[in-house]
Structure 1
Amino acid sequence: MTDIKEIPMPTGLRPPGPLAQVSEFAFPLDLARFSLQWPRLITAPRGDGRPIFLLPGYGASERSMIPLQRFLERLNYDASDWNLGTNTGAVNRYIAHFGEVAEARFSENGGQPFTLIGWSLGGVIAREAARLFPEMVREVITMGTPIIGGPKYTAVGARYARSASIELDEFEREVHERNSIGFKQPLTVIYSNRDGIVGPDIAKDIYNPQARNIRVDGGHLGLGFNPKVWRIIADTLAGKA
């Protein structure tokens, strides 16, 4: 774990506007457009067999990560889900439980560290795991993750606050303090300017100097199925990004 950085808490942020949120309903059109981009995956580099955990977003089950998991398996990676079912948003509980799951697999595979790939809130859990379990986490990749402010500036912030019984302003300060404790593992941050749930201003990393912030096109709901995202992930894992 690294020292706390003196980074001022960002201000002037807002959740995605109504038009951006409505654009998420174009998800079926995104899927149709993605079909034209599949050829870019044919030349994706083969992997080295490393273990990978896939962490779903808020309200999503492990099934949401299956397409990406199958793609990574075809590239020769040992990809698996997080074994914790649907992500209901209980971040602290999930971090503790995921630590147990990861430790068991870490022991089984001879102490080989994992790459963590998290979609949306799954990326928050991946980042926390990198901080808390540095010996077990090799690399982190996030997709549309609310890094700055936690849920406060997302389209589902109010709903999340009610379900988790939190006060958003206080939680924002806690998230900033957590983020200010950086980590040293390689970090790739994928975000979209068209994201109607987690806007681009809060999905970029400003805390870790090694972070690569990479912009893609498409909505939040399509990030896990986006061929460009998959290619970025494949190139990153193979060290070709």
Structure 2
Amino acid sequence: MYDFEGDKAAAGAGGSGPHRALLLLEVPRLAGELAASHTIDLVAPRRPSGDGRPVLVIPGFRATDGMTGRLRSHLKRHDFRVHGWRQGANIGLTDRLIDGLVERFEGIRKEYDEPVSVVGWSFGGVLARWLAHTYPGDVRQIVCLGSPWRADGERTRATGMFERSRRKHGISDRARPMIDLLRGPAPVPCTAVYSRSDGIVPWRGCAVDASEAPPAENVRVPSSHIGLVANPLVLDVVVDRLCQDPDDWQEFSWRSALARKWSPA
């Protein structure tokens, strides 16, 4: 994220992020993850388990709705009513994007007249946390994919891009209060999906403190960072969590998730 704490604090939090070798492997790994997810969808039984519930998917920094297309198409396959954020490239906490996100969320909430689940990828997950804190009665749950929300995860391989974007596009006066707010415990069920082999963000900054009320849990996956919206295991986690009843929450289990996925429809 933005280097709110300055270079000195960033250095104390672990330098510039994951090892460079992991960064260089991001794109090759994505190709394999994307191919695997398409192949598995061809053979796995279709399970329309979403019951038409609304889901908003927020892309990561510098990403667009097009880059979350694989995730959204998978959720649609499971009968969720999935929506992109329609703000173009996610260039950070500008007034235009903040106001646009609020308008988009409120529009979906009004359209369905029920709480909306929010899935955020990377910085999009940080924004999902902010929506949960701002609209706790209107957000059903959040799923954050490789989202460095903690202060000790502030310095990442993308921090330089955030700072260049701040110089080019500016930053809202609301930015720092937003970050301070979202760093509190999420007031709705929250699932943090992270990878220890993430090549862009430090995984420890993405993990949440486990809680039962409201539920907060971590799910570790073998994935690249940019592949978190295409990796077949991540897609299984997202579907499984979005199918949970917030009032009867069941802790994530790989055995249960995969058994449900491959059982006859």
Given the alignment of the two structures, is residue 52 of structure 1 paired with residue 21 of structure 2, yes or no?
Answer: no
2:201, 2:143 → 1: CA distance?
16
For residue 218 of structure 2, the aligned residue among 213, 218, 224 is 213
Structure 2 match to 1:25: 27
Question: 1:39-58, CA deviations, whole angstroms, 9 ceiling, x for partnerless residues?
Answer: 78536561221110010111
Given the alignment of the two structures, is residue 232 of structure 1 paired with residue 237 of structure 2, yes or no?
Answer: yes
Distance 1:37 1:131, change over 3 A: same
2:23, 2:117 → 1: CA distance?
31
1:135, 1:125 → 2: CA distance?
16
Matches within 5 A, 1:1-241: 12-14=13-15, 15-26=17-28, 27-32=30-35, 34=37, 38=41, 41-42=44-45, 46-90=49-93, 93-109=96-112, 111-149=113-151, 152-165=154-167, 177-206=180-209, 210-239=215-244, 241=252
1:25, 1:77 → 2: CA distance?
28
Distance 1:88 1:203, change over 3 A: same
Q: Confirm or deny: 8 A CA contact 2:153 2:204 kept in the other structure.
A: no
Q: Deviation of residue 153 (structure 1)?
A: 1.9
Q: Secondary structure at the match of 1:140?
A: strand
Distance 1:208 1:131, change over 3 A: farther
How many residue pairs end up in the alignment?
227
Q: Confirm or deny: 8 A CA contact 1:191 1:204 kept in the other structure.
A: yes
Instruction: Select between 219-228 and 19-28 the one with higher mean Cα deviation.
Output: 19-28
2:166, 2:62 → 1: CA distance?
13
Q: Deviation of residue 136 (structure 1)?
A: 1.6
Task: Please report the TM-score for the alignment, with normalisation by the length of structure 1.
Answer: 0.82
Distance 1:94 1:67, change over 3 A: same
2:125, 2:91 → 1: CA distance?
14
Q: Secondary structure at the match of 1:161?
A: helix
Of all paired residues, the percent bearing the same amino acid is 28
Q: Deviation of residue 152 (structure 1)?
A: 3.4
Question: 1:16-51, CA deviations, whole angstroms, 9 ceiling, x for partnerless residues?
Answer: 121221221323244445566557853656122111
Instruction: Select between 63-72 and 200-209 the one with higher mean Cα deviation.
Output: 200-209
Q: Deviation of residue 158 (structure 1)?
A: 2.0
Distance 1:29 1:206, change over 3 A: same
Distance 1:72 1:176, change over 3 A: closer
Runs of 4+ in 1 over 6 A off after TM superposition: 173-176
Give the counterpart letter for 2:156 in structure 1.
T
Q: Confirm or deny: 8 A CA contact 2:56 2:85 kept in the other structure.
A: yes
Question: 1:63-105, CA deviations, whole angstroms, 9 ceiling, x for partnerless residues?
Answer: 1111211111121111111121211122665333211222122
Q: Secondary structure at the match of 1:193?
A: coil
Question: What is the alpha-carbon root mean square deviation over aligned residues?
Answer: 3.0
Distance 1:207 1:177, change over 3 A: farther
1:83, 1:139 → 2: CA distance?
21
